[in-house]
Amino acid sequence: MRYFPSVEDFNLDTCTGKVLYLAHCDLDPIKALIEQTKISTQAMVGIFGETAIEFDEKGEHYSASQYFDMQSIFAARVVPLSYQSVLLILFSVFEEAIKTWCRMLKIENDRIEEFDGFLKGRHLGELERAIKYIEKYSKITGIEKDLLWDKIKTIRTARNAIVHNGGRVEEKYRKHLKKFNIGMREEDFGVYIDYETISDIYDTIMEFVDRIFSQAICSKNEVR
C-alpha cells in the first residue's frame, strides 16, 4: 500500500491531471492515518486489558476493575471519536480538492470569473457550488448524477452532524445514514464511526474523485 502518489501515474500536461495529482498528494496519506489510528487504538485497548489482568492476578481487584472500565470506555467512546476526527480531516481535504479544480480552471482560462465569488449568496453547499463552476467552465457534465453522489452527500451529513450537532443526527437524515451503513448509537443517534466505516468512506471518496477527474481528462478539450 502506497501512501503517496507517484508523479509518473498522472498526466501533468492537463489541467485536471495536475489537480488529480494534487488531490492524491493530500488524500493518499489519510489512508495511512486511518491505519495508524487502528493500530494505536487497538494497542491502547490491549494495554488496558493486559494491565487489568495483571492487577487481577495479584489480587488487586479494585485496580483491575478500574482498568477494565477504562478499556470499555476507550473502546466504546474514544475509538469512535478517533475515527470521527479522521472523517473531519478527510472530508475537508476532499472538498478542497474539488475547489482546487475550480481554481485551476481559472488559471488555465483567465477570462472566466473567479471561483470564490461564484454563486455566492445562493443557498448552495460548497460542493454544489464548486460542481456548478466546474460544469460551467469545463467540458464535464452530470457530476451530481454520479452513482456515488448520494453517498457523498450522506457522508457530508455525518460530517456536519459531528461539526454542528455534537454528532447527533436529526431524524430526517437518519434513513440516509442507515441506507449507506454509517452507524449511529442507539441511545442518542450519534454518528458512530469504526474502522470498517471510515475505510469504506475513504474508498468511496477516492473512487468518486478518480472517476470524475478522469472523465474530464478524457475530454478532448477539458477547459471551455
- Across 121-129, average pLDDT: 91
Three-class secondary structure of residue 121 per DSSP = coil
CA dihedral 42, 205, 119, 137 (to 10 degrees): 150
Does the pLDDT of residue 224 top 80, yes or no?
A: no
Ranges of each domain in the chain:
86-217
* Residue 139 confidence (pLDDT): 81
pTM for the full model? 0.92
Q: pLDDT, tens digit, for every residue of 184-196?
A: 999 999 999 999 9
* Residue 215 confidence (pLDDT): 79
The mean pLDDT of the chain is 93
In DSSP notation, 7-57 reads GGGS-TTSHHHHHHHHHHHHHHHHHHHHHHHHHHHHHHHHHHHHHHHHHHH
Q: pLDDT, tens digit, for every residue of 127-185?
A: 999 999 999 998 888 999 999 999 999 999 999 999 999 999 999 999 999 999 999 99
Does the pLDDT of residue 24 top 70, yes or no?
A: yes
Q: Which of 140, 118, 144 is nearest to 213 (CA)?
A: 140
* Residue 84 confidence (pLDDT): 98
* Residue 67 confidence (pLDDT): 98
* Residue 13 confidence (pLDDT): 87
Comparing 2-11, 40-49, 156-165, 201-210, the range with the smallest average pLDDT is 2-11
Does the pLDDT of residue 218 top 90, yes or no?
A: no
* Residue 221 confidence (pLDDT): 47
